[in-house]
Structure 1
Amino acid sequence: MSYKLSYQLYSSRNFPPLSAQLPLLKAMGYDAVEPWLPAYEADPALFRRQLDDAGLSCLGFHMPLTGLVDEPERFFDIAETLGTTLLIPPYVKPEDRGTGIGYWKSLGEQLATGATGAARRGLRVAWHNHDFEFAALEDGSRPIDHILGADPSVLFEIDCGWIARAGGDPSAELQRFASQIVAIQMKDLAPAGTEAEDGWAATGDGIIDWQALEPLFASTAADQLIVEHDNPADWQRVAQRSIDYIKRLTA
């Protein structure tokens, strides 16, 4: 299976300007980047030109859930400007989250409504997980089950690192949601007790058993693998080590 290799620009948000990072990422071997808000918001057309000039594409972008709910057409326009079909709400702030099953079901329904609107323009919607979606609810189910269970048209960008940090099993989730997974974030976790870089690692340098997980990728609908590290001390080192590892792993 051949995958496009993408880099989540959130990883290097603390090393501006982002535009200067693009040609470096291309030279490392990346095919694409995955931007987050506000990287593209001020001038999506300019951001697209910067990608084109660097020889990179956008295979998906992170956006607010509220944007999908309250102003979907604006974000659909942005998707078309960036040249991608994949819109990815990635987070709900703790103060905005409900605690019961009903809240998570309603979130799934909001995503499904957004996905229906997106489909009319040839676009798709995928959720991106953190750790809180894998905490057990009162009936033993988990938020992720309700987020992705409302409608199969709601797709999934699975973040293996956050699942591992939540104490979950990425291999089980890769299999459980295989038909909805369209992108795989290969975020790696440093050994327990590591405080440096908030406990994250470059892909292949951490404790996640990627050799065991990689054969499962082909059973999903994913056509892209994404590198992300939430707080690297040296973003170029993380980006280079991660892509080098992924290329060896998937060769």
Structure 2
Amino acid sequence: MVDTAVQLYTLRSLDAPVPELLDRVGAAGFDGVEFAYRVRESPVEEVLAALDRNGLDAASAHVPIESLEDAPTEALEDGFDETVDLYDRLGVDTLVVPWLDAEQFESAAAVDAVATRLNSLADALGAEGVRLAYHNHDQEFAAVDGAPAIERLIDRTDERVGFEVDVGWALVGGADPAALIDRHADRITHVHVSDADLGRGESVALGEGDVDLDAVVASARDADCEWLVYEHDDPADPIASIEQGARALRDALV
């Protein structure tokens, strides 16, 4: 069974504490939430209470790679230990690196260096009972030695490194998202269900762009993915966006 969640980045423009955002997520009908930044703005106990009263599970959390590689500094409040501890208290078992700059995917050597970093983090997190995953945008689909960089990255990372395929960004990058999920089914833990209008080059509501949602959901099911995570990068009305996203996912899962 595939559960549905929402990436809290979708609600980032709302001036409300995380527990209130979780109330909105629960009301929209999702099964869980993928945390992003701002989690430390509210006491952990209040976040846990909001998860409980809304019947929400913690699907995963997006965490900057610097927080997993570095010790705390003035510029970086949390390091590895602090990050692992926080999300352990919130019941999160998968931490996702959400972004690496485009230059990390411009050459074979650069991709191999990323793979080494992710393998090292997977080792460190595995010792803490936590999984690591990587979330793509479109830069990972740049051609490297005649193939998309993401293919080299998957090939050169340990099987303990999972992948959270963002289908909208994969499409923008020139890939067939459903085929990508099919090809690497054993490595994909989560699917970011977003949509994109290729003509306008922007994020749109599910069903209003060029992503084949039914094909993506079917592939996610076949791959035994645990979570379909809804995200809209820049919704005009965030609450209407997550409500529409929840409906679209429910219809696609019927």
Same fold (TM over 0.5): yes
Aligned partner (choices 74, 81, 85) of residue 77 of structure 1: 85
Instruction: Compare the two structures and name the one with the higher strand fraction.
Output: 2
Structure 2 counterpart SS, 1:41: helix
Structure 2 counterpart SS, 1:61: strand
**In 2, Cα distance between equivalents of 1:86 and 1:9:** 15
Q: Which moved more, 1:221-230 or 1:47-56?
A: 47-56
**In 1, Cα distance between equivalents of 2:90 and 2:107:** 36
Taking only aligned residues, the RMSD between alpha carbons, in angstroms, comes to 1.9
Q: Which moved more, 1:154-163 or 1:52-61?
A: 52-61
What residue in structure 1 maps to residue 197 of structure 2? 190
Alignment size in residue pairs: 243
What residue in structure 1 maps to residue 39 of structure 2? 40
Compute the displacement of 1:25 (Å): 1.6
Correspondences of 1:127-146 after superposition (within 5 Å): 127-137=134-144, 139-146=145-152
Q: Do the aligned residues in 2 keep the contact of 1:182 with 1:224 (CA within 8 Å)?
A: yes
Structure 1 counterpart SS, 2:209: coil
Summarize deviations over 1:162-182 as a string: whole Å, max 9, x none. Answer: 011112211221112110100
Amino acid across the alignment from 2:4: L
What residue in structure 2 maps to residue 211 of structure 1? 214
What residue in structure 1 maps to residue 120 of structure 2? 113
Summarize deviations over 1:157-210 as a string: whole Å, max 9, x none. Answer: 11000011112211221112110100011101135126xxxx212222322111
Compute the displacement of 1:44 (Å): 6.1
Structure 1 counterpart SS, 2:218: helix
- 1:236 aligned onto 2:235: no
**In 2, Cα distance between equivalents of 1:221 and 1:113:** 26
Structure 1 length-normalised TM: 0.89
Summarize deviations over 1:44-81 as a string: whole Å, max 9, x none. Answer: 62433443344322110000112222232222212201
Describe the shift of the 1:102–1:80 C-alpha distance in structure 2 as closer, same or farther (beyond 3 A).
same
**In 2, Cα distance between equivalents of 1:116 and 1:244:** 38
Compute the displacement of 1:23 (Å): 1.2
Aligned partner (choices 212, 215, 223) of residue 220 of structure 1: 223
Q: Which moved more, 1:177-186 or 1:72-81?
A: 72-81
Structure 2 length-normalised TM: 0.88
Q: Do the aligned residues in 1 keep the contact of 2:172 with 2:198 (CA within 8 Å)?
A: no
**In 1, Cα distance between equivalents of 2:153 and 2:65:** 12
Correspondences of 1:48-127 after superposition (within 5 Å): 48-70=48-70, 71-94=79-102, 97=104, 99-127=106-134
Structure 2 counterpart SS, 1:225: strand
Describe the shift of the 1:13–1:161 C-alpha distance in structure 2 as closer, same or farther (beyond 3 A).
same
Correspondences of 1:161-172 after superposition (within 5 Å): 161-172=168-179
**In 2, Cα distance between equivalents of 1:27 and 1:90:** 26
Summarize deviations over 1:62-102 as a string: whole Å, max 9, x none. Answer: 001122222322222122011010000010235x7363211
Q: Do the aligned residues in 2 keep the contact of 1:62 with 1:89 (CA within 8 Å)?
A: yes
**In 2, Cα distance between equivalents of 1:192 and 1:134:** 18
Q: Do the aligned residues in 2 keep the contact of 1:109 with 1:151 (CA within 8 Å)?
A: no
Q: Which moved more, 1:49-58 or 1:15-24?
A: 49-58
Q: Which ranges of structure 2 fall in alignment gaps of 5 or more residues? A: 71-78
Compute the displacement of 1:114 (Å): 1.0
Summarize deviations over 1:3-59 as a string: whole Å, max 9, x none. Answer: 21100010110112143222122122111111112x213456243344334432211
